[in-house]
Chain A
Amino acid sequence: MDYNIDDVKSVLRDNAIKFPDKKIIYNLYSVLSKLYDNDLTKYENDIYIINNKLLTDYERLGLEIESLLKRVNENQNNAVVREILILMKQAYDKGKLSSSLIAYFKKLITEIQIILGEDITFYSVAEELFDEKMLKLIKDNKEYKER
């Protein structure tokens, strides 16, 4: 994790940054600050062991995409999220995903899980997602750069 609590606080206090981004940063930081230096993949694997069998990344994504889709279908307010999920489902249904796409999908799903208020499951990408997100927010946000 390349950022500290003060960086996060500045992001949270910044009025130019949108609420969903803040929520993602807040939740990821909360998790990562507790799991600092831990093997995050282990947490993810613990979650995805079903009947003594470790689900593959492809299977994990399938389950999450479907359960999230169900969740947003119930609520009409999440049109954008739903659109993203449908696109992901279309890609998923082709039957194979490259490893880079898997990582990308995991990050997307983590963001969606946080926005919808669910507990995150893809711990393996949490740290990378947090750093990417912070970098992007800082880069995009002039005020923060000038601070």
Chain B
Amino acid sequence: MNIGVFKKYLLDKIADFSEKLKIIDERNKLYDGLEDIIAALEENITTISDEALTTIIRLVASEDFTMFRINEIKKIYPYWNLMDDEKKRVISDYIKAFVNKIRETQAKNRENNNSEKEAILVQIKTYEEYSALMDDERIIKPISSDNFASFMEFLNEVELDHLVKQQLILEFYDYNIKFYKREEQIKKNIVVDEIKTKASVIAKELRQTKEVETLDIEGLLEQIRVNAKEDEVEVINQIIGIYKKLKVAAVVSDNELIKEYLKDNFTVQDHIDTWSFESDLKRAMLTDLTIYLIPNFNTHSKEIIEIFKSLITVYASIEKSSEKEEIIKLSEEDKAFIEDSEFYVLKQAERFADLPEKEKNVLISMNDAILRGKSEEAKMISPNYSLLEVTLYDKILEYNKQLSFLREVINNAEEYISSFGLEDVQKDINMYLENLKQITLEIKKNVTELQEELYGKNTLENANNSLNNIVIFPYNGKKILEDMNAISVEDDYKETLPRVSAAIDKMTLTDANTLFAITEDIKPPKFWGNTDRFIQQSWENNTIRRLRNGDIRFGFITVGVSPNNMEYLKEKYGYDKNNRVYLLYTLFYKTGDNMDYNKANNEFVVQFEEINKILTIFGTDFDEEYLKELYNNKAKDKQIKIEYLKRMFGINEITVDSLRMAQLRAIDEIINNSQDLIVKIQRNDEELLTNGGGR
């Protein structure tokens, strides 16, 4: 209630200030309008209307300059040529003094106006800042602790009922204390997390000193299963299942003590005890199975079956307790935003990654100076960094901080909700998300400015003019459809098409520099094996790049366009020199390791014939010169090339015209087929996916 009143008060004030700004602007316009009159005053006073003269005199009215005198001058001015020199001098001196006085006054007024305007802008900024702290009903953001005192002072002086004011002060006070308490807690938890991670790294290192001898456990298990008695089969089968799961989840630990203690010891309780001795139950069980139980099964099957039974019970209990439900779920959109922005910021952070700690401190102190409003001082700290870079570094740190706060709250939502309540936690999460969005925007702006600083503004502006890159697919999109279907099994099928569509949008609408920045190289393999030399060369010339959207990864290359084709594309598809043709040849579900790269690389070889065909069609000018070159070629190579062209274009005779015709037809076909598919994807046409709705 009170908050709503306060918000309205602030908004009204902002509106008032905006009105004042308008008046000042009007005044400035008026001054500009007077410039012509002043110029005319110097030239010929008679041309000025009485009205304009009145306005001017009002500006500078004093004993020296009165309407009466000016009118007198105006009256006798037409007889200028008849006047003697003395009189001319007196009049022109008077006009000069008059003009000077006006100019002086104008300058002074302008200065006053500008300082008034600046003061109002500062006021508006403050009011907007304060107004952003709340929505119509409640407080949504804390006041930074540096500004708290001045905000309270401000609050005390607003023109509202004193009871309302007192309640507002209490509400803000309360909110701030609660908020910073939460933030303190989050910070502390993050530190504790860091400590625990380091401790577990040390503990892990201690456990893995040497390779543990491993027998063919799965073979042994199979043997045990085959030889098992009827009543044991069920237990053995379960153990096989558990062993397989454990093998993925844990590693065998190398501990002298466990070896000594369990050697020839098949007491059920001792085994259960040892599992509980170790901090990681799964690891202990796996070690026990691998080193003692399975290899010794044949000699002590009776005792070991009992141990197996206990193991199954204990394992079931830990499986159950590890199933934890997510309490707070982010929307798909937010998740996608976080993934995208994190990747983007990570990319930007690369430029600072290799700096030594000392240099990073330099950046931080430079930023402190900038924040204090002393940019000159900042420049003096180190000439190595531009102010833009310093700000970018600070923003990246801030981004990471906010992101870790957000993750901490989401991961431990249960704990925070129990201490602070669901509503507050949800509010915090929204605030962190908002902050992240804000910072990402600022980082993007900063990066653009940096690029402008480095490469000049024009190139970027041109590139942004009309962005209509062309995305094409090999095999008329058949392969891509297969990939999409494969993904929609792993991924939620409903997300597949929108994600692919968003990625294609990114490729079509992003300028080449930015696309380069938001994607990454997929390096060709270090060992080529017996890959064809021609493929290797093409591979090195056409760097594969990887684009991410949601959980889907896209592999594409940029297709070179020959000058004649460029003209054709320009005419028919509105393509210009800043556009690119991208060949999107594969997409796959994220696996989180190098498998991503392998898939993109493998597909490049598998589809090479088609990829090479497309590269040739777009990148070659089949003109006289080309034919001359072709026929001059050595006999063997020549024949192969000619056959290749004939087969590719389905023509019998090689001439400039026939080639050109076939080439344009092929270009149209590739682009049109790809466009058809893109339209279907954008329309979210679920018929594209064979398993649509099946899950």
Contact = CB atoms under 8 A, between A and B. Distances in A.
* Genuine A/B complex: yes
A30 B188 CA distance: 30
B202 A29 contact: no
B298 interface: no
B209 interface: yes
Interface of A: 5, 8-9, 12-13, 19, 22-23, 26-27, 29-31, 33-35, 43, 46-48, 50, 52, 63, 66-67, 70, 114, 117-121
Given A63-B191, A118-B196, A23 B257 contact: no
Contacts of B415: 70
B203 A119 contact: yes
A66 B188 contact: yes
A120 B199 contact: yes
B18 interface: no
B199 A119 contact: yes
B277 A27 contact: yes
Contact-size category for B = 20 to 34
B441 to A, nearest CB: 27
A33 B199 contact: no
B282 to A, nearest CB: 12
B256 interface: yes
B188 A33 contact: no
B279 interface: yes
Nearest to B195: A47
A34 B254 CA distance: 11
Interface string B160-196: 0000000000000000000000000000100110111
Given A27-B279, A70-B415, A121 B199 contact: yes
B202 A5 contact: no
A29 B199 contact: no
Given A22-B273, A30-B207, A30-B255, 18 more contacts: A9-B260, A12-B261, A13-B261, A19-B273, A23-B277, A31-B203, A31-B206, A46-B198, A47-B195, A47-B198, A48-B195, A50-B191, A66-B192, A117-B280, A118-B196, A118-B279, A119-B196, A121-B199
Contacts of A19: 273, 276
Contacts of A114: 279
Contacts of B192: 63, 66-67
9 contacts: A8-B257, A27-B277, A33-B256, A43-B202, A50-B195, A63-B188, A63-B195, A118-B199, A121-B195
Given A34-B209, A66-B188, A119 B200 contact: yes
B199 A47 contact: yes
A121 B279 CA distance: 13
B230 interface: no
Listed residue (A22, A26, A66, A120) with the most chain B CB atoms within 10 angstroms of its CB: A26
A147 to B, nearest CB: 17
> What are the nearest 3 A-B pairs in CB distance?
A119-B199, A26-B277, A119-B203
**Which of B195, B209, B260, B281 is the most central at the interface, judged by chain A CB atoms within 10 Å of its CB?**
B195
Contacts of A22: 273, 277
Nearest to B357: A52
Contacts of B203: 31, 119-120
Interface in B227-263: 255-257, 260-261
Given A31-B206, A46-B198, A119 B188 contact: no
B594 to A, nearest CB: 29
